[in-house]
Chains A and B, each alone.
Chain A
């Protein structure tokens, strides 16, 4: 059920537009109303870490800007006009037509229009992403599946070292660009080749065409991406490794790398050497910061509360518990995972560490979240890791706050990442910067 939401933390299916923007030299084409694309850009990209337009995003996105006439008479002809124009005007390697509410509600046969172009050899696909269908996590998956189903062909040979990575959702995760880069570096460090598919230097359509060559699909998130891996398994037989916790800090990253190494049957020693070196660096700095944790004279945060997508809520919780020995209060998961995935998520929160567990509530409505969290008293200032919407709540509760979840309106984010060994150090710095900055 999609209830009314105050202060939204996700947008509609058409948000998949941003996943297209994240693919190198891909061009989204929006067949919808005149305001959709700009609103999505504003909410998912600009006022979310001030992530910029990108190559063909922002005001460059071609769109049919549907008007009354298109509603009454249908917009297929208009769509053809805009696709024709886009193919001439926009310099791209892949075109993805996304439908908005208007086109889907009035029943435009976008699939047929687009397939006409594809049959003529144009690299163009279509995704039915009318906003009312769901949230932008769904939109992301729909866009990905559309490319897979409409463009990819079975591989001639499998590359044993190649792994496709299905992890953070571009733009929805404000730190997606740095995170994907960090994931790639980690996997390369243990001897694999990671096909990250989104972001700078990810290879564009060439990389997407290599998807069927991969020896495995790594789903590195609690639930988003599982259905993509399922489709790939059915089509190309590629095995799936599901690791539901985003690796932040040494404990989790080491566990992650060993799990992947075992799955990929990598030789033992090089993996361990890599892990040892990285752990050494991480713990050097954790040790260095320990003076601060032990001896800071004023209120350091007591319990922590995550108010974010399941991928961050879980990953950050594991990190804070395992590396900083902080204690969890209630955790709030805001990305509305489908029912069938909630049990796994609950279980992961229950097993953060031996004898440390956290209760989790699923809600994306600020009013509900606020009322729930205010029920508890806190003797030490709580640390709230959420979105910018939660600044006031943190202040009200006398706590500290760091924005990492969409929308991040109070930070400029470039390639910062919280993934991996180095990412854990960055998170420590940022959390305590926000604590220290209040003095």
Chain B
């Protein structure tokens, strides 16, 4: 049986419960070099092919992404059916949890995370008994409203039957328990983890609507502060930020909203499409509201879907006018400064729009993967095209977070600023002496006022790059001279 067939077989076995990986579902890839325009065209034509690297540095897996979303549901528990190392991200999630609770005036308490701590014996004899124990332990300790059981490479390879355990436990405990098929090796696109988590929520948590809340907009996001209210309240709508810091009851009612929108369409594609497909909650397909043009478009679509057309135009006009003088000052301040974005799509595309609106000269971008399409399949959602509508010739790469490629590339380009997402990359860039702004609060730059907020943040960061200069002077990057003299993407193979 070919690899293809084997994978299809495993997918079919999972299809009752699991989500299909992005490589297959959305034609996603991790390797590309060219221009933004080329990538848009090839993807649109359905001809996007993967390019693999011979040498790679460590990536990120679906398990991390899935657990990030689920661990912040305040009254649920996550059980990682895995050896202890997969829980390496638990402390991080706990910090996110406690910080976020503080900001939202919730009682500070540790995140509810367990690992079944699989050992050698378990890999030989199986460990479903441990999972049963863990579920009972979790229920006793926390009285959760739901339990999520995340799979791991090990649980997948040894063939643990999560569903049987879960079925029995659900009957006994009377709460929804969902498996999450986020085994690391399944996908090179770690965003598949978001899909796996949301799939579990759709399957087990979301209920048919009791009553429609037409002026509520689901916003699928991470843990940023609420700046969406700024955009929605003036037109009579309110945001329902999900999934972090929600409760199970709140998630049950996702089906009642007037629409679902994205902070990042790469993040929420599966969930939004699922809500539309199963409950008729329309999905806002325009790219997220970052940058003037995209914010206009997004607001208009939201208004259209919720009957707020009359309010939206005056609001757009007033906001644009209100920020115009300050924006001009910032544009002059940043004029001529070269910027580069290294992030995931589509949020990275949003960053590109913002930087361009602030007057930066965008000299290139490298995103960590590319989805050829989103689950809704509608080309109006193409955030890359939106961000480069005036600059299709922009140098563009897809680099799967490979630091050795980024360092090589940026060393040649020497931008004045790199906006970077994903842990541990900012340091590599800073060691080149290049100011690197880490994207922490994803919401800070959104909308009209966000442009000014973000400009302020960037100005502060650029005012005194002593940290980067000291690093460049006193540290060494771990790459050979040989590598730094090669073309940055020379380890990338041919399209498959």
Contacts and interface: CB of A to CB of B under 8 A. Distances in A.
Interface of A: 2-8, 10-15, 27, 30, 32-44, 46-48, 52-53, 55-56, 58-73, 81-82, 84-86, 88-92, 100-102, 105-106, 130-136, 366-367, 388-389, 392, 407, 409
Interface stretch (B183-191, B271-279, B294-302, B445-453): B183-191
Given A58-B427, A102-B153, A132-B154, A85 B54 contact: yes
Contact of B114 (A4, A13, A27, A39): A4
A101 B154 contact: yes
Given A53-B424, A65-B59, A6 B185 contact: no
A40 B88 CA distance: 5
Nearest to B1: A72
A85 B479 CA distance: 11
Contacts of B479: 89-91
A88 B58 CA distance: 17
Nearest to A73: B3
6 contacts: A8-B90, A38-B424, A43-B85, A59-B403, A59-B423, A66-B185
B158 A105 contact: yes
B109 interface: yes
Given A11-B88, A89-B479, A389-B110, A131 B3 contact: no
A71 B84 CA distance: 21
B56 A63 contact: yes
B94 interface: yes
A131 B86 contact: yes
B423 A42 contact: yes
Contacts of A13: 83, 85
Nearest to A25: B478
Which of the listed residues A12, A84, A91 has the most CB atoms from chain B within 10 Å of its own CB? A12
B55 interface: yes
Contacts of B481: 91
A134 B401 contact: no
B482 A38 contact: no
A34 B54 contact: no
Nearest to B7: A68
A218 B484 CA distance: 42
A27 B478 contact: yes
A59 B425 contact: yes
Given A34-B190, A59-B58, A41 B424 contact: yes
Contact of A61 (B57, B82, B114, B190): B57
Contacts of A15: 85, 88
Contact of A33 (B3, B110, B117, B184): B184
A65 B56 contact: yes
A317 to B, nearest CB: 25
Which of the listed residues B61, B108, B157, B185 has the most CB atoms from chain A within 10 Å of its own CB? B185
Contacts of A69: 3
Interface of B: 3, 6-7, 10, 54-64, 79, 82-92, 94-95, 108-110, 112-120, 122-123, 130, 133-134, 137-138, 141, 152-154, 157-158, 183-188, 190, 401, 403-404, 422-425, 427-428, 476, 478-483, 491
A4 B428 CA distance: 37
Contact of B85 (A14, A60, A392): A14
The 8 closest A-B pairs by CB, nearest first: A85-B55, A35-B61, A12-B85, A43-B88, A39-B88, A37-B58, A33-B184, A58-B424
Nearest to B475: A55
B387 to A, nearest CB: 24
B403 A105 contact: no
A72 B157 CA distance: 10
Given A32-B153, A407-B90, 10 more contacts: A2-B117, A2-B122, A33-B153, A35-B61, A42-B89, A42-B423, A68-B7, A81-B54, A101-B83, A131-B154
Which of the listed residues B89, B117, B141 has the most CB atoms from chain A within 10 Å of its own CB? B117
Contacts of A388: 91, 94
Contacts of A4: 79, 114-117, 130, 133-134, 137
B92 A46 contact: yes
B91 to A, nearest CB: 4
A7 B110 contact: yes
Which of the listed residues A64, A85, A92 has the most CB atoms from chain B within 10 Å of its own CB? A85
B483 A88 contact: yes
Given A71-B185, A84-B54, A105-B158, A36 B424 contact: no
Contacts of A32: 153
A21 B358 CA distance: 40
Contacts of A55: 476, 478
B185 A33 contact: yes
Given A72-B3, A72-B6, A388-B94, A92 B478 contact: yes
Contacts of B478: 27, 55-56, 60, 90-92
Nearest to B124: A132
Contacts of B60: 34-35, 38
Given A33-B185, A92-B478, A39 B89 contact: yes
Nearest to B59: A34
Nearest to B3: A69
A12 B83 contact: yes
A85 B491 CA distance: 8
A106 B157 contact: yes
Contacts of A30: 58
Which of the listed residues B54, B62, B82 has the most CB atoms from chain A within 10 Å of its own CB? B54
Which of the listed residues B55, B62, B154 has the most CB atoms from chain A within 10 Å of its own CB? B55
A27 to B, nearest CB: 7
Nearest to A15: B85
A6 B188 contact: no
Contacts of B423: 38, 41-42, 46, 58-59
A70 B185 contact: yes
Contact of A60 (B108, B113, B119, B428): B428
Which of the listed residues B79, B109, B137, B187 has the most CB atoms from chain A within 10 Å of its own CB? B137
Contact of B427 (A27, A52, A70): A52
A392 to B, nearest CB: 6
A13 to B, nearest CB: 7
A20 to B, nearest CB: 12
Contact of B141 (A36, A82, A367, A389): A367
A95 B64 CA distance: 27
A102 B55 contact: no
Nearest to B122: A132
A319 B41 CA distance: 68
Contacts of A38: 58-61, 64, 88, 423-424
A65 B123 CA distance: 21
Nearest to A7: B110
A53 B152 CA distance: 25
Contacts of B89: 39, 42-43
A105 B120 CA distance: 10
Given A11-B85, A35-B64, A6 B480 contact: no
A136 B185 CA distance: 21
A105 B83 CA distance: 12
Contacts of A41: 58, 88, 423-424
A224 B116 CA distance: 24
Nearest to A56: B478
B188 A65 contact: yes
Which of the listed residues B7, B88, B89 has the most CB atoms from chain A within 10 Å of its own CB? B88
Contacts of B424: 38, 41, 46, 53, 58-60
Contacts of A59: 57-58, 401, 403, 422-425, 428
A231 B476 CA distance: 35
Contacts of B94: 7, 47, 388-389, 407, 409
Nearest to B67: A39
B76 to A, nearest CB: 14
A73 B153 CA distance: 16
Given A82-B56, A101-B153, A3 B158 contact: no
Which of the listed residues B133, B153, B154 has the most CB atoms from chain A within 10 Å of its own CB? B153
A131 B109 contact: no
B185 A12 contact: no
Contact of B55 (A34, A53, A88, A132): A88
